Structure 1
């Protein structure tokens, strides 16, 4: 990794927690350089929609996620700063990100929202399987360590983005990704 590597703000939360909305607001409030929003849903939208057996779909989704993780690293390596939105609902996803993004300083942000609000948002969206956000609620945060957390149920996406921006100059030396790598023996 060269001195020109981009910065990474990594938003993790359930489906319908507001990650994409916060990411769009971050692009507006982070006016110090050019930022890109890279979201896992964007990669899912690029995949063919043909019918697949569950095993084939699961394998395609795993490859999609792995490609997504590597695209984050490629963007940063090329000097681009990125705001990532992801759902780390399976342990391998976080482990893969810890490995692939090891050369980069990652600001790991937990996007939290109470279950009742997640269910309300999911129902209003109508484009997600019913119960997905509630099912993911405990899974996505089980690793238990973030550099910063915001509550998207109590604050608007703009307020969450402003909170994240205010945190950036005050980051501790040790990052959550570094601590999680160390805890996992990576």
Structure 2
């Protein structure tokens, strides 16, 4: 029979897996307590970072319906449970790992799909959600401007043609009066 404290830990991890948008599994071997505090502060807006026991995490992931993490659950593990923007959290972890090589990104889960360490790095290379939305809005605005131009172009060309004909007829009218 499971001990109550372990059952509570599994239940808490299961809830965190279910409530988060993504989870990134890391190895923290060699980091000091101060460095872990610094990492937690860096991720505080988008994620929570917790040191976990591998066996309890495997059980919680299975209960939450998350597959594929078992292969990464070896050695000292910690998980960043992402509740905000997954791209920002991945960037925070990548940047911290660059400054502190002891932090190793093992893999993760995004919307039920298992990610490798390379895919987490690719996720970190994406631009933020706000930048992508601004670019999409710019594309839509350009398309609307182009459509408006196409609708007004025939009218504008007709006006220029009428003006040219008017100038031509007005220019030839004084010549007829002189004859």
TM-score category by the smaller chain?
Answer: under 0.3
With normalisation by structure 2, the TM-score equals 0.26
Of the two, which has the highest radius of gyration? Answer: 2
The answer to which structure, 1 or 2, has the higher relative contact order (CA under 8 A, 6+ apart) is 1
